[in-house]
Amino acid sequence: MTDSIRVLLVEDSESDAALIERLLEKGGFELVGVRVETSAQMKEALENGGPWDLVLSDCRMPAFNAPAALEQVKQTGLDLPFIVVSGVIGEELAVALMKAGAADYVMKNNLTRLVPAVAREVKEARQRRERRKIEDALRQSEARIEETRREMQSQEIRIAADIQKNILTNQPPFLAEEVEVGVMSIPSMMVDGDFVDFYRFHDHTLSLVLCDVMGKGIPAALIGAATKVSLLKAITRVGIIDNRFTASPEVIVALAQCDIGPKLSEAATFV
């Protein structure tokens, strides 16, 4: 089974380029190759001739060289394997090219290494591309999940704000035509735990309860709700006879404090 690859061949010798193409085809590759030998030709091929799987470059040519070709590839930002195929290359230059990003170098007098090197680099580049696709898909999925989470959180906060407005904070009761009582509670955030409530100890007395909860947001709202529950439990304990509480406001607050105080200490908060 042949493997189709697109190769950008930087080579000034037509005969050497033809030899390289024959070796790759004999090695099992279905080759689509373009030969360039100048910087301008390579720039055109990189910008308009791709996508490419591989660059094979001679080291020295009359109008171009491997270091310059490698730099052009790097400037594109493409993950494009670059293999130097040269008749003569000094050890110092070979090391410099490898440090600069070349994947390998093969001597023209020992082209038996060419096919394995090409196969390895093409395979690894494809694996990297596939890995990036998976990582991109994962990031997109995580972004969608985060967006959904934020939408759900916003919806929860809106619901909590409605609950606070309609349940935690009661409207003042009617006392008499001559008496008007008003109340306004504005959370510093969309929702918090503060609330206002009213209790009538008898026909001529109206008690106002102001609850200021430490913190903001849904945790504070839960603390506010728990505080109101404790207050109502305390009122239930003292009882009401003839529309009168059987205990003073101080006793009711003390009972509520006994109920919720330890829980607030465990939660490291206060009301």
> pLDDT tens digits, residue range 2-26?
789 999 999 999 999 999 999 999 9
Residue 204 has a pLDDT of 64
Tell me the mean pLDDT in the region 50-60. Answer: 92
**Which range is most confident: 4-8, 146-150, 230-234?**
4-8
Tokens of 162: 């409605």
**Measured distance CA(213)–CA(271) in Å, rounded:** 5
**Which range is most confident: 85-94, 123-132, 158-167, 181-190?**
123-132
Residue 79 has a pLDDT of 92
**Which range is most confident: 89-98, 127-136, 242-251?**
127-136
Token pair 């020992």 is at which residue? 110
Residue 232 has a pLDDT of 79
Tokens of 237: 């304990």
Tokens of 27: 């090695």
- The residue among 90, 82, 87 whose CA lies nearest residue 125 is 82
Q: Is the pLDDT of residue 235 over 60?
A: yes
Mean pLDDT over the full length of the chain: 84
Residue 200 has a pLDDT of 67
Tell me the mean pLDDT in the region 91-107. Answer: 90
**Measured distance CA(194)–CA(186) in Å, rounded:** 9
**Measured distance CA(210)–CA(32) in Å, rounded:** 80
Decide which of 164 and 34 is more confident. Answer: 34
Q: Is the peptide bond before 219 cis (omega within 30 degrees of 0)?
A: no
Q: Is the pLDDT of residue 156 over 70?
A: yes
Q: Is the pLDDT of residue 244 over 80?
A: no
Residue 124 has a pLDDT of 95
- Angle at the Cα of 199 (from 196 to 201), degrees rounded to 5? 155
CA dist list (Å): 26 to 19, 100, 214? 10, 30, 77
- The residue among 206, 201, 161, 156 whose CA lies nearest residue 181 is 206
Residue 46 has a pLDDT of 93
Q: Give the range among 13-27, 44-58, 238-252 with minimum mean pLDDT.
A: 238-252
Decide which of 271 and 34 is more confident. Answer: 34
Centre a 10 Å sphere on the Cβ of residue 128 and count the other Cβ atoms it contains.
Answer: 12
Residue 171 has a pLDDT of 64
Residue 142 has a pLDDT of 93
Q: How confident is the model at residue 226 (pLDDT cuts 50, 70, 90)?
A: confident
Tell me the mean pLDDT in the region 239-255. Answer: 72
